[in-house]
Structure 1
Amino acid sequence: MRTRKIIIPATNTSASLKTIKRKTNVTDVAKAAGVSVATVSRAFNIPGAVKDDLRSHVLTIANSLGYTPNPAAKALRLQKSHMVGVVIPTINHAFFAAMLDSFQEVMSAAGYLVIVVTCGFDNNKVFDQVRRLIDRGADALLLVGRVEDSRVRDLITEKKIPVITTYSYQNDDSIPSIGFDNYAAMRLMVSYLVRLGHKRLVMIAGPTQGNDRQQARIRAFYDTREANNIVEPWHVIELSYNGAFAEGAEAMRKIHAEFPDTTAVVCNSDSFAFGVLAECRKLALRVPEDISVTGHDDQDFACMLAPPSPQSLYRQKTWVDTPPMHSYMHFPTATRSLQSTLMRTF
């Protein structure tokens, strides 16, 4: 069989190559600014090591040349990613959204990128997400809730990753925390109801599996009953947070049908309280004349409830902005300044 050699003429690529614009690098900036490469690097990475006027000059030249540092190269060189990982139960909750907004604002101003992952409300599921964030180079972590999984503690100790927890107060020296005492907050709330004369209470709680926040509130609920020698039965209805408004309304229907003598409903979130109040109107129950309702979290819409529900309040933004932090309880008839249940440990 005869074969033929096919010769394909080379294309003239020189013209096209000339049109490809080379990306500006740090050397170009240094030459244009009349400084060393090291000075350019410090201007971007260690601002305090360069005089303000010189840094401004370098940044102006860099901007005119269209130069921006390569994040990957910078991370490799400095062995830092400038990424902070956040592990939260869900983004489908106004409270966590507000917390993230404040955290993102502060971290961004400090030059950090915030990476958010969710794990549900079970603290036992935190480990996998923490490991993924560390594997991807997170410089530090913010976790919601107590760190009760020994695997998480061992991993952050091994990797020497700075970690802080929030939303729950962790009373030990191993992990810094900025949170509040869920148990104390609920004791204050329920004790107030007892002082008003309520003896038949029902709590609407969120998911408790691996959820130290809900567990602490439920424990405080029953401990208050025992401390006041109340013999009437108290009940807890556990719900998910999937459609909390509707779930709160459904729980109120259950309370009205199964526990008709209930005089106060303690809601572990304002979302549940919103649904409860809506259902009370449908059931022709007057609040607070026929039944009292409390909420928790001070969500934006809480002040629009009619009547406003008593709440354990705290301000999310103070967690990362302005110490000292304050906590207080608000009731329809008055504002009472009580001992703070918001705590910090470092």
Structure 2
Amino acid sequence: MKSSRKTPTMADVAREAGVSPMTVSRAFKSDAYVNDETRKAILAAAERLGYVMDSMASGLSSRKTGFVAVTIPSVNNANFADTIRGLTEGLQEKGLQVLLGYTSYNLEEEERLVRQLLTRRPEAIVVTGGKHTEKCRAMLENAGIPVIETWDIPSDPIDSVVGFSNAEASAMIVRHLVSTGRTKIAFLGGDTSRDTRGFDRRRGFTRTMEQLGFDATRLTEAGPPPISMREGADAFSRLMQKWPDTEAVVCVSDLAGFGALTECQRLGIDVPGKMAIAGFGAYEISDICVPPITSVDPHCYQIGMLSAQRIIDLLSDADEETTTSQTVLEPELLIRASTVSTS
């Protein structure tokens, strides 16, 4: 009869010893830097759990490949492109290259990509968001390399985090719109099944509206992600048919916001006189359109640069701090003429 007892993993040892899986991997390599006290704690934890290091996997993982694996939802999104640019430039000083895969906003595709990327033995892996399938999370926990979750603040991080609160980004916009006297506010976008960060922005919208005592049910989906300008325009048209007295709309992205703006112009709705429009992402188009669209800058480039620095620190022999870390950025609200009259 087969035993039902689970075979302990590297992640189990890491939790038992209070360190990261990467530190456990290092502790089992005699030539890798781990201070004596930490190594003894890890070996003791492994003995208590009955964990045995796979010598073949250890040998493979000790070889330097010179690249960092990265997954992003879309290759044609300027925000994620800026993050990759920051990451690439930040890693250049150490001669590390980026190996990129895109998930199409699909968690199952992320799982497939992570499995494929890990077979190539990257020195670190950067993923977008803090939500993963169970199998994907298990692979990341047991990878034995630095794992950086970005563009989010997960409640249960795997290793390191460089991100921001998507919910708070929407809350900032809602509070701004209410300060201008608008209370009949709608949200456009935020697919519930695929775009987890967009859904968090929608959640931030509804929570803040409810906290302020206003109706939070004016929700119009558009998609699937990434939402185009055309889809933003179509969604805004549906929104106005259902709630014609709407005074303002918070859009899941600047592209959706630009679509809403062009639909207002087609319908003869004055912006910001009769309708205020806000987006997310600080895209170039939101700054040069007429009127410019109020947006939130999540500091995409800095996310990449800070992720690169965290990877370099973790791969450096001089770095003894290998516990989970969170770098939380504060999104910046960019108030423009689409929500505030300049006359």
Is residue 2:308 matched to residue 1:328?
no
Q: Helix, strand or coil: the match of 1:203?
A: strand
Q: What is the aligned counterpart of 2:221 among 237, 246, 252? A: 237
Identity of aligned residues (%): 25
C-alpha spacing 1:243/1:191, structure 2 compared with 1 (3 Å): closer
Residues 13-46 of structure 1, C-alpha deviation per residue, up to 9 Å, x if partnerless?
Answer: xxxxxxxxxxxxxxxxxxxxxxxxxxxxxxxxxx
Kept in 2: contact 1:121–1:207 (CA 8 A) = no
1:62 alignment counterpart: none
C-alpha spacing 1:250/1:238, structure 2 compared with 1 (3 Å): closer
Per-residue deviation, 1:285: 0.9
Q: Distance in 2 between matches of 1:254 and 1:284?
A: 16
Q: What is the aligned counterpart of 2:102 among 108, 114, 118? A: 118
Give the TM-score normalised by structure 1: 0.69
Q: Distance in 1 between matches of 2:205 and 2:330?
A: 23
C-alpha spacing 1:237/1:210, structure 2 compared with 1 (3 Å): closer
Kept in 1: contact 2:141–2:158 (CA 8 A) = no
Q: Distance in 2 between matches of 1:112 and 1:126?
A: 22
1:314 alignment counterpart: 298
Q: Helix, strand or coil: the match of 1:159?
A: coil
**In terms of Rg, which structure is larger?**
1
Kept in 1: contact 2:232–2:259 (CA 8 A) = yes
Kept in 2: contact 1:266–1:293 (CA 8 A) = yes
Q: Map residues 134-173 of structure 1 onto 2, 5 A cutoff.
A: 134-172=118-156
Supply the AA of the counterpart residue of 1:117: G
Q: Greater relative contact order: 1 or 2 (C-alpha under 8 angstroms, separation 6 or more)?
A: 2
Q: Distance in 1 between matches of 2:240 and 2:331?
A: 33
Supply the AA of the counterpart residue of 1:198: R
Is residue 2:211 matched to residue 1:227?
yes
Q: What is the aligned counterpart of 1:186 among 163, 170, 173? A: 170
Q: Map residues 200-279 of structure 1 onto 2, 5 A cutoff.
A: 200-231=184-215, 233-241=217-225, 244-279=228-263
Residues 267-299 of structure 1, C-alpha deviation per residue, up to 9 Å, x if partnerless?
Answer: 110111111111111111110001000010001
1:59 alignment counterpart: none
Per-residue deviation, 1:94: 1.2
Q: Helix, strand or coil: the match of 1:125?
A: helix
Per-residue deviation, 1:76: 7.8
Is residue 2:286 matched to residue 1:302?
yes
Stretches of structure 1 lacking an aligned partner (at least 5 in a row): 1-74, 334-346
Give the TM-score normalised by structure 2: 0.69
Kept in 1: contact 2:125–2:146 (CA 8 A) = yes
Q: What is the aligned counterpart of 1:102 among 57, 64, 86? A: 86
Per-residue deviation, 1:157: 2.7
Kept in 2: contact 1:206–1:214 (CA 8 A) = yes
Q: Distance in 2 between matches of 1:242 and 1:153?
A: 24
Supply the AA of the counterpart residue of 2:73: P
Kept in 1: contact 2:130–2:149 (CA 8 A) = yes
Kept in 2: contact 1:208–1:238 (CA 8 A) = no
Q: Distance in 1 between matches of 2:86 and 2:153?
A: 19
Aligned CA RMSD, in angstroms, stands at: 2.6
C-alpha spacing 1:332/1:224, structure 2 compared with 1 (3 Å): same
